[in-house]
Amino acid sequence: MRTLKTTITNIKSNKQLFFASVGTITIALSILGLFLFVYINLNSVLSFWNDQVQLIVYLEDEVSMHEKKKLEKMVSSHSEVESFDFVSREKAWKNFQAMFSEKSAFLKGMGFNPLPASFNLKIKPTPNRLEKIRTLAEQMKQLPGVESVEYGEEWISRFEGFIILMRVFLLALGALLSLGAVLIISNTVKLSISSRKDEIELMLLSGGTPGFIQLPFFLEGILHGLLGAVVSLALMKSIHLYVVNQFQGAIETFGRSMDFQFIPFPLIMTIVMASILVGWLGSFFSLHQFLGVYKKL
Amino acid sequence: MIQLYNVYKTYNNTPALVDISFIIKKGAFVFVTGPSGAGKSTLLKLLYRWENYDRGQVLVNGTNVGKIKFNRLWKLRRKIGVVFQDYKLLQRKTILENVAFVLEIVGADKKTIRFKAWEALKNVGLSHKKDAYPMELSGGEQQRVAIARALVNNPKILLADEPTGNLDPELASEILHLFEQANNEGTTVVFATHSQIILQEGNHAVITLKQGKIVDTRVVV
Ligand SMILES: Nc1ncnc2c1ncn2[C@@H]1O[C@H](COP(=O)(O)OP(=O)(O)OP(=O)(O)O)[C@@H](O)[C@H]1O
Ligand SMILES: [Mg+2]
């Protein structure tokens, strides 16, 4: 209670500096958050597409019953295949017509079915799934009765590469900004400490425990981190809401069943905890430096 | 209670205390005197471990003071009340808050703090100025606040560094009586002064320092 009061007095007597420092941390965190926001949404796009990725094996129109059976057997027994559909030429045609129902008059008028039959394979989700799809595709291409294979290869691998790059970038940026925040907080707390030098000295002389003496300053540092995190998260949330309002419509035509995601809760907690840790570290360095003088006496 | 054995202390290779040995028993009242720069303050600082020594041993309450870790020093310092030569009053606090501050540090409850702080100020005749700031007091008044603060925790040991330096003789002898009263209640008192009047007035043991050495001791009979 008294500790809290001391912390607040400390902050009040250095108000401008406190707000400047919290503001800087807020901005730093917001920059990080913005990238995180983009990353999370790109990632969710990726996993959405990843889910959609199928290896489609088109059959030759004149495939024999025997070849088809053989292919089906191979596909159903393959260890990497999670499930598969057989889409006959007729069914493919129906699907196609359903998808473009407004043009169905024209389609009906075509009078023949240009679509091949296919096996649509869903591959088990493993970390190197793309690799697996690739090898399986190569295998299947060689088999008799197979006309061609298809999957969104280039797209996905490029996209995945980008996501990995982004992850590295985010980690580096986070580390850099955290370091900056530690320095800023440490500096602010240092000023707070030196403006109370006489009081701290008296506390040391009158038998204040190190914990009692240091707690207000630890709280001050932690408050920096916590406030910075909360304000920047609130900022992120309002940006998120704005974006959702403005662009949700556009997104819906782009990829169904997808929305703009906010930073997920566990990650929010991680950010808050990390900010608290950063604040604590800032205080720790200043206190360590300051009290070091008295430890040597 | 306080034992020193062949203690040496230097500041940047300049000797401040040389081969100091003495024993102060529990409940004793001892003056430390000597000319300016003789090492009186330094000697007191060793006892509450604000300074460390280079050789010898300093035992307070049976504990080797030089070996106490920083994180445990508070235990020693809670037993010791100090009247600092430069008072060390907090300028941003009223004098009542100044006295209350050391009670807060040791975690006393609010009611006790208010009562004891006020009582301590009353004992030095300053309760009517409790809301004044140190800057608004005369030197002697500030000195009395420092004394009130040193006594407020009922320390086992009281170290007073020139506590009457700024007081007129009458007030000085009143303060001396205050210390003697604490002494009668069991507090061991070490009182540094260069005032001959005070030395004569109080019939107590005297350790005389000169250039860091003990040159004379007076023992009470
Ligand atoms: N922190 C310090 N750094 C360097 N030298 C110091 C320090 N403190 C004291 N000294 C030196 O140590 C010697 C003893 O100083 P001390 O303060 O103990 O004297 P004193 O007897 O208390 O004097 P006074 O009666 O003037 O208060 C002096 O020569 C002083 O200059
Ligand atoms: Mg002195």
pLDDT at B35: 93
Residues A181, A43, single domain; the answer is: yes
Residue A32 pLDDT more than 90? no
What's the DSSP call for residue A217?
H
Beta bridge partners, B15, equal B10
pLDDT at A250: 62
The boundaries of the domain holding residue A14 are 2-49+157-296
CA distance to partner chain B, nearest, from residue A172 (Å): 37
pLDDT (mean) for B136-157: 93
d(CA A204, CA A273) in angstroms, rounded, equals 31
Given an 8 Å threshold on Cβ–Cβ distance, is B106 in contact with A204?
no
Residues B92, B128, single domain; the answer is: yes
Residues B33, B126, single domain; the answer is: no
Residues B69, B115, single domain; the answer is: no
Residues B11, B74, single domain; the answer is: yes
d(CA B97, CA B82) in angstroms, rounded, equals 17
Residues B117, B60, single domain; the answer is: no
Cα of B38 vs centre of ligand 1, distance in Å, is: 7
* Domain boundary, last residue among A151, A180, A211: A151
Given an 8 Å threshold on Cβ–Cβ distance, is A210 in contact with B70?
yes
The boundaries of the domain holding residue B132 are 88-154
Cα of A139 vs centre of ligand 2, distance in Å, is: 94
d(CA A124, CA A131) in angstroms, rounded, equals 12
| Identity of the residue numbered B93 | K
pLDDT at B39: 94
**Which residue did the predictor score with more confidence, B94 or A124?**
B94
pLDDT at A249: 64
Helix or strand holding residue A123 (H, E): strand A118-123
Cα of B38 vs centre of ligand 2, distance in Å, is: 8
Q: What is the pLDDT of residues A71-96, one digit of tens each?
A: 888 878 887 788 888 888 888 888 77
Residues A165, A280, single domain; the answer is: yes
What residues of B are in contact with residue A201 (Cβ under 8 Å)? 88
Count the domains in chain B. 2
pLDDT (mean) for B108-126: 92
> Cβ < 6 Å from ligand 1: which residues?
B 11, 16, 34, 36-42, 85, 194
Distances (CA, A) of A247 to A33, A94, A253, A260, B85: 19, 33, 11, 9, 72
CA distance to partner chain A, nearest, from residue B220 (Å): 31
Q: Which of B41, B40, B50, B47 is nearest to B23 (CA)?
A: B47
Nearest CA in chain B to A198: B90
Residues A165, A281, single domain; the answer is: yes
Residue B137 neighbours by CB distance under 10 Å: 17
* Domain boundary, last residue among A126, A151, A176: A151
Residues A37, A168, single domain; the answer is: yes
Residue A232 neighbours by CB distance under 10 Å: 23
Residue A14 pLDDT more than 80? no
What residues of A are in contact with residue B73 (Cβ under 8 Å)? 204
Residues B102, B164, single domain; the answer is: no
Q: What is the pLDDT of residues B47-90, one digit of tens each?
A: 999 999 999 999 999 999 999 999 999 999 999 999 999 999 99
Given an 8 Å threshold on Cβ–Cβ distance, is A204 in contact with B78?
no
Residues B72, B172, single domain; the answer is: yes
pLDDT at A254: 53
Count the domains in chain A. 2
Confidence of residue A108 (pLDDT cuts 50, 70, 90): low
Instruction: Give the A window 210-229 contacts with B, CB below 8 Å.
Output: 210, 212
* Domain boundary, last residue among A151, A167, A195: A151
Q: What is the pLDDT of residues A187-233, one digit of tens each?
A: 988 988 998 899 999 999 999 999 999 999 999 999 999 999 999 99
Mutual orientation of helices A2-13 and A15-52 as an angle, nearest 10°? 100
* Domain boundary, last residue among B130, B154, B178: B154
Confidence of residue B204 (pLDDT cuts 50, 70, 90): very high
Interface predicted TM-score of the whole assembly (ipTM), two decimals: 0.92
d(CA A174, CA A29) in angstroms, rounded, equals 8
